[in-house]
Structure formats: C-alpha cells, structure tokens
Amino acid sequence: MCGFVFSSYGGVKAEKFDKSFQKIYHRGPDNECVTTQEGGIWGFHRLSIMDLSSRGNQPFLNNGNELMCNGEIYNFEELKEIVNDIYEFHSESDCEVLLPLYEKFGIEIMVKMLDAEFALVMYDGQTGEVMAARDPIGIRPLFYGFEAETGKIAFSSEAKGLMDFCKNVEPFPPGHYYKDGKFYLYNDLADPKMIIDEEISTITSKIKEKLEKSVIKRLHSDAPLGFLLSGGLDSSLVCAIAQKHLEKPIKTFAIGMDTDPIDLRYAKEVADFLGTEHVEVKITKDDVLNSLRDIIYHLETWDITTVRASIGMYLICKFIHENTELKVLLTGEVSDEIFGYKYTDFAPTPAEFQKEAQKRIRELYMYDVLRADRCIAAHSLEARVPFGDLDFVDYVMSVNPEKKMNKYNKGKYLLRKAFEGLGYLPDSILYREKAAFSDAMGHSMVDYLKEFAESKYTAEDLERANEKYPYKTPFTKESLLYREIFEEFYPGKAEWIKDFWMPNKEWEGCNVDDPSARVLSNYGDSGK
C-alpha cells in the first residue's frame, strides 16, 4: 500500500505541500520522494512489495512522461511481453509496465487492459496533459481537489493529503479515468454485460475455479504475507485456498473482545483445521474507546457501520505492524456485496436483489473497501482482496440473481456449495451463519460505544443535531459521536460519504434504526 500526492501547479509552497504529503507517510515508509518536474510536484511514499530494491522507487519516468501508481498489477508479466518491443525494463516492479503501456495504447485502452487494484496519476510530456485513473471497485483510494489559488487539479491517496492546499476535495470515482479535464467511465463492474442462467453445478464449479485463481495470483509478493481470519465463511475460504497452494503454514490473525468474543473460537477452529501459524489478539473496552479518534481520522468517514467494523481491523493491524515483519494482508471483503448480506434475505424479487448488489458494488469505495484500505494502510501494510477480483466479480454479478437469493435456507449458498465436500473447510465453518464483524468481535464492543455516546450527549443534543448537521443528520447519540469527531478533522466534508450504510428500508423486515444484523428478525444463530 503506497501513497502519493500530486499537484499540477508547481508553485505550491513547499511547506504546504510537505505538510500534506507527510499526513500520508504511514502508507509507505520504505522510501520517500518529492520532485518538481514539468508536470507539477510529485510526492510518493513507497511500501516495498514488488522489487524491494531502489529500482522500484517511484515516480517512473520515460520519454518525458511521468507516472505514480499505488497498485498491484496482477497481469504485469503478460503486459510486459506486449511492450517489450518499445521499452527496456529497469526493475521488477509490476507498476513500471504502465508507462510503456500508455505510450503504446493511450490511457483508455491501457486501463481496460489491467487486471489490477490501482490508483494512478500521470503526465504526458509531449501534450502537457495530466491524467489519472482508479480501479473499477475503488479498492485503492484516490481523491482529487483544486489548488486554492490557481484552481489547478491535484490528486492524493487520501483526502487529508490535499486538505492544506486544495479546495473542493472529492473522492475520485472508481472505474473512471481523468483526461482533458473530464472523467470518463471505462468499467462499471456492477452492470454485467449479460445474465448467465446455468445449472447450479456449473455455476458453483466456476465460482470455485475463479476464486482459487484470484487468491493464487494475490500470493505473488516479494514481501511477506499474512491473513486476517475472522472464522467467517469469506476469510476462511481465502485462508483455505492459500494454504492449499503454499508449502509453509500461512500466518493467520484473529481479534475479539476480552469478555465475549464470538469469532475467536471459530477462527481457531479454522486455523487448527488448516494448520496455520495462528495468533489471537484480545482487546478491552479501553482499547476500543481510546482508538476511536485515531480510527475516524484515518477512515475519513462518519458512517456508523464503517466505524464499528473498523475498530477490530485497525487494532489487529496495529498489532501485526508492531509485532511482525509482514507487509501484505489478504482479507475477505467484497463477498457480501455480490453474494448477499443477512438483510438481503428479505429481497422481494430477483430484480431487487440484483439492484441492491449493484448499489453495494458501486458504493463499496465508501464503506467496506474504505475500511479495509485505511485500517491496513494506517499501519504501513497492504490489503489484497481476492473477492474483489475483476473476473470473479464480473462472473458472480452475471449469474441469474434468482439463483443467488436465499431460497436454500442458507445465505451465500452458491459460494458454500462451491467448496462443499472438498476438504477446504469443515462443514461447521462452511455452513456457519453469517455474523456481522463488529458483533462477532463481541457484542460488548458496540454496547461500550453506545454507552460512551449516551454518557456524552443529552436528548437535547441529539434534537439539535439537524441544525448543526443538516446533511445526513445523526439519528442516534452514537452516530452523533462519530460525526462530531469527523467534523473536527474534516469540517464541512461530510458529503464525501453518500449516506449511512443501512439495510434497504423499503423492504419488509428491513426498516430498522441500527445497521447491525443483530436487529434483524432472521439473525438467528449468527450471534452464537
């Protein structure tokens, strides 16, 4: 996970640029570079993952063109073969291929050729044009703004990297590239080109094949790998596939409250089954409350669900950073969006199920993907997200939504069925009921947060919230707490986030006042 700040205005005062640049130091402490070139000011914090030598340092330059990229280009070896006739490579960095690829094909074709998680900015030395692009899901973060004095565009891996010298800072839309002063959509992954109506056996076979390929390609790293393991279906499958394809035991990490953890025992069951090197981290009420401000600062959000779910991830990544040499973590995000949450059991029709999945995919960059990136990057680690693989998501979104709905008395049935009876996981895990991460950490965690908010605010404070925060007004004392902390760091920037992450209130059974799955009538054994 690297980080960059770029301003197309070379006249930005050095102290302002450096102040902003240092705010994202955590994303890449291995090498720091600030240069002023014809295209503007380039600042890059490197986290060395591929080619650990100095040859992999950025920005990359060629023929007067310049490029910075925070990303993993999984098909870079294939792409190198395409441009070998015009370019001599100087490193083993996967991102170096981007410059010659651009020079041969242009940005529109280039971004469509990438099997990657990426955010990039580049300058064409011949045309004087500044360009940028972001992967279709938005797994790698990117923001843009306009320099306060000149109005010239600037880009950064996090919003905080632009706040000191830019106005109108906004998230860069996933699946778009920027050229000629405009944003162009190149891949709306939520909108499948066709709907596939195959036999269940065919669908599950392809799901298994594509997820395995996705995990395997993400095991390629020159830096050491680790795995976040909750004991839920998604992270357990990622670990199981990886362990089957690696010779040594993988390193897995689980976290829970010291009082009532749910996930820890399931994670240990998975770890014992797979034979991993497993570490448990237990946290206290004080850990939760004392980390809250730092978490919201790093997240750049006020959303209830995102904040709750980030606490465990942030603290376990802190532990990994402080106690291991790991740099890359594989996670289980993105599965829920394409296969369904607990609340999507209430979807009234296949069309509504598909529409909800599309909404979640298009908004991932504001919620689960944002959480994973910021919690992991805050501790100088890189996230890899197998369920967010472009080919995998494209296929699952193309499957007839009627077959993805919970008609089997078990959510995510297709994913579970794909690995049934193959020895990847015990049935107790493969068919475990889904539990929300923030709840499975231990129900006490959310209770502590609510109690703290209750002690801090009165009913009158909550009533006045609509005057103070007319945009997406906090509706509970807990949400008011998060919003107030957010506004301290990012005043007036609440519109970065579209809305509170909540179940679809238009569906029967989903009109609830808390985003946790435990308030739903179908929660059942999820909290056990």
Choose, from 2, 69, 239, 317, the residue flagged as catalytic: 2
A 10 A CB-CB count for 7 gives 30
Tell me if residue 375 is catalytic.
no
| Residue keyed to tokens 């295209």 | 39
CA atoms 210, 216, 219, 221: torsion sign: negative
Q: At 304, which amino acid appears?
A: I
State how far the Cα of 26 lies from the Cα of 374, in Å rounded to an integer.
10
Contact 403, 175 (CB under 8 A): no
Residue 489, phi then psi, degrees to nearest 5: -85, -40
Contact 361, 397 (CB under 8 A): yes
116, two tokens: 């990657």
The SS3 assignment for 227 reads strand
Residue 241, phi then psi, degrees to nearest 5: -65, -45
380, two tokens: 């100088």
State how far the Cα of 286 lies from the Cα of 142, in Å rounded to an integer.
33
Find the DSSP H helices in 84-147.
Answer: 98-105, 107-113
10 Å CB burial of residue 461 (0-12, 13-18, 19+) is: middle
Q: Which of 418, 392, 357, 369 is nearest to 74 (CA)?
A: 392
Which sequence positions are flagged as catalytic?
Answer: 2
